[in-house]
């Protein structure tokens, strides 16, 4: 059955309809560690009842439009609080659960300082720590509570406001991979539209089972998995991201046990499964239920795509299920995925690199634009991806100037005064497929040639086995011309005696690939390369740490010019 959400005024109306039409159908299954023990199952009727109770308790305490920070793990507490906010006319602000992480607390402090919430919901064990974080942000009137305490603190009889499609529903903060996080204003209409488009583009409907480990504070988890599934009247199965990272096979067993048909993950997750799930385990799991597993959130690595498809072929994983996709928080999440039940198109970019096609957008207009002249590129040329449509967010919270520049751009060579979203991503349309090249802010120009950091990082791992499976970050510095610096984690089994030969091999390989010498390489311990919560490399952060002397190299081979940029 086709998912049709166009006729709903708001998200609460769609939720109520699902509870009416499919009351006993499972809406949410929570499997914290990915295993069968302790799983919780909630039908659409049960989930709707919990959401409405949460909404009335929020409405009894807070004014419509109040921001509510959700610092909660993937579970029923997050789900009922998220939909409860939308039902009560509040604005949900998903953030990573702190869990003792200094990085997560720092991110939360940035976000609460920016959005000034009236309430922060977190697990009981994190209340005291987050209360201190909120106090540092200067928000004396902001309560920090667990969902259970928040629900006990208010009556359930409060009236609920009537939200419209333009009512602000979510502040979805960007990952921070290229700078400090900005809050994308996502309306209730954006949520409804994007859920419908995601389902249409990927051949999903109410009979599907969505699910996986993507955290719910990430747009792929919140909108592509949770919101799309529940609003379609389908089932979503949630597990802990930490459980996946510790034991990647738990994701695969979750798919088998619940016959999950729609899932999603960044490219690094597929690589992790190939490396850490032995062939005998891979052959024993059943992945035949999958008809769509989105490979997105970061550039799709074609060798990883191939390796996963081959590694799990005996498990019943169909090549057609692998679904390269493109999206971003500024467009809610979904922009484009390959057509359903077709094999991914593998194409050659203008730079001669192999890339996976992401289909063409459904529900968006698309232009490839020269980012400097703002003129449309010729067919096949690489430029900045611009889109417009009803899924595009309302702008950035409290950033009118940036919102005008990014969300309301105009083409220089068109009489059409329509406004476009500048995505900041580079790509082209080739053979009827959108091909993603990289981030505009991260592209490096070396001797007149565009060099993309992810290509450098992938080639470095291919150059030596002691780098395979670890993270790297490539970025440019001015010394005095633009030069590429590569910082990369190294296997803990490597001995210091091996470092010079290893770096020499990497430099030789990368110089051949780039067509110009790469001189500057820094080796780091495992885990030293910063990433966002979705696994994106924080290249800007790594560049800053490098130039500030904030890294702790185990070995560095730097040119005199680049070394001169560093603190004495």
pLDDT tens string, the chain, 568 residues long: the values are 789 999 999 999 999 999 999 999 999 999 988 888 889 999 999 999 999 999 999 999 999 999 999 999 999 999 999 999 999 999 999 999 997 677 788 889 999 999 999 999 999 999 999 999 999 988 988 999 988 876 665 566 778 999 999 999 999 998 654 457 899 999 999 999 999 999 999 999 999 999 999 999 999 999 999 999 999 999 999 999 999 989 999 999 999 999 999 999 988 899 899 999 999 999 999 999 999 999 987 778 888 899 999 999 999 999 999 999 999 999 999 999 999 989 999 988 766 678 899 999 999 999 999 998 999 999 999 999 999 999 999 999 999 999 999 999 999 977 677 899 999 999 999 999 999 988 888 778 776 667 788 888 888 888 889 998 889 999 988 887 788 899 999 999 999 999 999 999 998 888 887 777 788 999 999 989 998 766 778 888 898 899 999 999 999 999 988 988 898 7
Q: How many CA atoms within 13 Å lie on the side-chain side of 512?
A: 9
Contact 426, 382 (CB under 8 A): yes
The ranges of the chain annotated as CATH 2.30.38.10 are 358-440
pLDDT digits (tens, 9 = 90+) for 539-560: 888 988 999 999 999 999 999 8
Do residues 432 and 460 make contact, with C-beta atoms less than 8 angstroms apart?
no
Provide CATH code, domain 358-440. 2.30.38.10
Backbone angles phi, psi at 556, to 5 degrees: -145, 135
Please say whether the beta carbons of 475 and 452 come within 8 A: no
How many whole angstroms separate alpha carbon 303 and alpha carbon 74? 31
d(CA 248, CA 267): 13
Q: What is the pLDDT of residue 244?
A: 93
Q: What architecture (CATH level 2) is domain 443-563?
A: 2-Layer Sandwich (3.30)
pLDDT in tens, 458-486: 888 888 899 988 899 999 888 877 888 99
Spatial distance between the Cα atoms of 409 and 387, rounded to a whole number of angstroms: 10
- 68: Cβ contacts below 8 Å, ≥ 6 apart: 58, 62, 81, 85, 90, 91, 92, 93, 117, 118, 119, 120, 121
Output the pLDDT for position 340.
Answer: 93
Using the Cα atoms of residue 378, residue 382, residue 384 and residue 390 in order, give the sign of their dihedral.
positive
Give Cα 311 distance to the centre of its chain: 25
User: Rounded CA gap, 221 and 72, in Å?
Assistant: 13
Q: What is the pLDDT of residue 178?
A: 47
Count H helices, E strands: the chain? 19, 26
**3-class DSSP state of 79:** helix
What is the C-alpha separation between 525 and 520, in angstroms, rounded?
A: 17
pLDDT tens for each residue of 483-532? 889 999 999 999 999 999 999 999 888 888 777 778 899 999 998 999 87
Q: What is the pTM of this model?
A: 0.86
Q: Report the relative pairing of strands 482-489 and 520-524 from DSSP bridges.
A: parallel
State the span(s) of the chain assigned CATH 3.30.300.30.
443-563
Q: What per-residue confidence (pLDDT) applies to 540?
A: 85
């Amino acid at each position: 059955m086709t998912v049709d959400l166009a006729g709903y005024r708001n998200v609460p109306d769609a939720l109520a309809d699902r509870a009416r039409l499919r009351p006993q159908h499972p809406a949410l299954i929570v499997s914290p560690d990915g295993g069968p023990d302790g799983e919780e199952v909630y039908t659409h009727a049960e989930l709707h009842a919990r959401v409405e109770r949460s909404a009335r308790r929020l409405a009894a305490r807070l004014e419509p439009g109040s921001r509510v920070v959700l610092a909660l793990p993937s579970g029923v507490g997050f789900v009922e609080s998220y939909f409860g906010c939308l039902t009560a006319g509040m604005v949900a602000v998903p953030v990573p659960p702190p869990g003792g992480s200094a990085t997560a607390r720092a991110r939360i402090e940035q976000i609460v300082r920016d959005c000034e919430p009236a309430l922060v919901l977190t697990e009981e064990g994190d209340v005291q720590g987050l209360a201190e974080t909120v106090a540092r942000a200067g928000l004396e009137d902001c309560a920090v509570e667990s969902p259970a305490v928040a629900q006990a603190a208010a009556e359930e009889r409060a009236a609920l406001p009537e939200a419209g499609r333009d009512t602000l529903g979510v502040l979805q903060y960007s990952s921070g991979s290229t700078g400090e996080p900005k809050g994308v204003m996502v309306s209730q209409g954006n949520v409804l539209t994007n859920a419908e488009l995601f389902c249409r583009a990927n051949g999903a409907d109410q009979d599907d089972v969505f699910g996986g480990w993507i955290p719910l504070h990430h747009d792929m988890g919140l909108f592509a998995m949770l919101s799309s599934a529940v609003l379609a009247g389908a089932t979503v199965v949630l597990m802990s991201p930490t459980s996946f990272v510790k034991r990647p096979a738990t994701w695969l067993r979750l798919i088998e046990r619940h016959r999950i048909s729609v899932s999603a993950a960044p490219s690094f997750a597929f690589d992790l499964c190939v490396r850490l799930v032995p062939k005998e385990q891979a052959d024993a799991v059943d992945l035949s239920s999958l008809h769509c597993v989105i490979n997105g959130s970061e550039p799709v690595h074609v060798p990883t795509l191939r390796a996963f498809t081959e590694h799990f072929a005996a498990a019943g994983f169909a090549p057609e299920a692998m679904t390269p996709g493109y999206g971003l928080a500024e467009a809610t999440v979904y922009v484009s995925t390959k057509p359903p039940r077709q094999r991914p198109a593998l194409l050659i970019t203008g730079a001669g690199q192999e890339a996976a096609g992401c289909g063409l957008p459904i529900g968006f207009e698309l232009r490839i634009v020269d980012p400097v002249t703002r003129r449309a590129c010729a067919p096949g040329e690489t430029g900045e991806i611009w889109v417009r449509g009803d899924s595009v967010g309302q702008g950035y919270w409290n950033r009118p100037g940036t919102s005008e520049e990014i969300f309301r751009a105009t083409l220089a060579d068109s009489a059409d005064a329509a406004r476009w979203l500048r995505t900041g991503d580079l790509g082209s349309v080739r053979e009827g497929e959108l091909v993603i090249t990289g981030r505009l802010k991260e592209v490096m120009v070396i001797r007149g040639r565009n060099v993309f950091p992810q290509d450098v990082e992938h080639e470095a791992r291919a150059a030596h086995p002691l780098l395979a499976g670890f993270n790297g970050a490539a970025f440019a510095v001015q010394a005095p011309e633009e030069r590429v610096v590569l910082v990369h984690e190294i296997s803990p089994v490597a001995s210091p005696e091996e470092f010079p030969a290893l770096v020499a091999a990497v430099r030789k390989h990368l110089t051949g690939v780039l067509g110009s010498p790469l001189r500057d390489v820094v080796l780091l311990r495992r885990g030293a390369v910063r990433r966002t919560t979705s696994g994106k490399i924080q290249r800007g952060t790594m560049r800053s740490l490098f130039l500030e002397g904030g890294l702790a190299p185990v070995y560095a081979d730097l040119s005199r010019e680049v070394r001169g940029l560093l603190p004495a």
